[in-house]
Amino acid sequence: MSEKRPVSLLVTVLGLFGLGGLMYYGIDRLSSDMPGAADVQSPNSTTLYVAASSGDIEAIRREIQRGAAVDEISPSEMGRGGMTALMAAAAAGKAEAVKALLAAGSKPNTRSKDGKTALMYASLYADAATVRALLDAGAQYDARSDDQWTSLMFAANRGDPGALEAIIAAGANVDAKNKWGQTALMAATRAGDTAKVKALLAAGASINVADNSGETALSIAAAGGDDTPAPLLEALLAAKPDLRLANTEGVTALMRAADRGDQSKVITLLNAGAPAGAKDHNGWTALDWAKARGDDQGLAAARVLEQAAK
């Protein structure tokens, strides 16, 4: 029996080795027959998000047919993380992609991680066609972001003029305020966009509304530099603002212009009837504000104000 053990052991070892080889061969063949990650992607929000961002309608439909969740929030490492595919398409101004996603059941009023809706993103970055597609699907135009901004405010701040007009036409509240008390008219004024200012005024925006600091659209325009064109100031004055209004420190629009050393704006405001003798809470007049600059611009504005005081 002692002579047979080596043979049995050898046979056993060889058998196991052969079985291991067969198993390796089978696994290797199975792996080679399976498509890799580059060939097949499981349906997920990331793939749909990318397709939506690029406006690839066929890819959007394919991913939805494969079961991708249309309203899943994208991962933070994606371009604009925390958004749905609909928000991505809206921000990219892909109107047809927006329509495709809405047709697939995407909800227009879902919120991103920072509290914005698809319409808010469209109002900021897209065109009128994208905005209208969302409005037609029931997007809430007066919905608020975390900072209480509405889509109209976003459009007034930096959006497309056509987007602003579409939101106004839908019935948006033109005098809505954000957490700082600022309105769409103030946002358009700060952006130096005369066309948007005129559109908001034509829609009934209140010229004398003040923010939490008491600033009005007129005082914002008066304090603005070269970014505030003369036609914008003239458009605000044409709306007959109360030129006596002052902020919480008693500073008027005329004082703002004097502080800027803007002789042209000082003249325009004086010609419109701004009171040159008004005083702020420190007892300063617009003339004092101009002189306090101590430069040529301030002195030029001061001369105009001195002449007006005679």
Q: Residues 301, 258: contact at Cβ < 8 Å?
A: yes
Tens-digit pLDDT string for the chain (310 aa):
444 444 454 444 345 445 444 433 343 433 333 233 233 333 456 889 999 999 999 999 999 999 999 999 876 544 456 899 999 999 999 999 999 999 999 999 999 988 999 999 999 999 999 999 999 999 999 999 999 999 999 999 999 999 999 999 999 999 999 999 999 999 999 999 999 999 999 999 999 999 999 999 999 999 998 778 999 999 999 999 999 999 999 999 999 999 999 999 999 999 999 999 999 999 999 999 999 999 999 999 999 999 998 8
Q: What are the sequence ranges of the domains in the chain? A: 183-310
Question: Considering the domain 183-310, what is its CATH architecture?
Answer: Alpha Horseshoe (1.25)
Contact 163, 132 (CB under 8 A): no
Alpha-carbon gap, residue 42 to 22, rounded angstroms: 31
Beta-strand runs (E) in the chain: none
Residues, the chain, total?
310
Q: What is the dihedral of CA 32, 36, 39, 41, to 10 degrees?
A: 140
DSSP state of 222: H
Q: What pTM did the predictor assign?
A: 0.83
Task: Annotate 249-293 with DSSP letters as a single string.
Answer: TS-BHHHHHHHHT-HHHHHHHHHTT--TT---TTS--HHHHHHHH
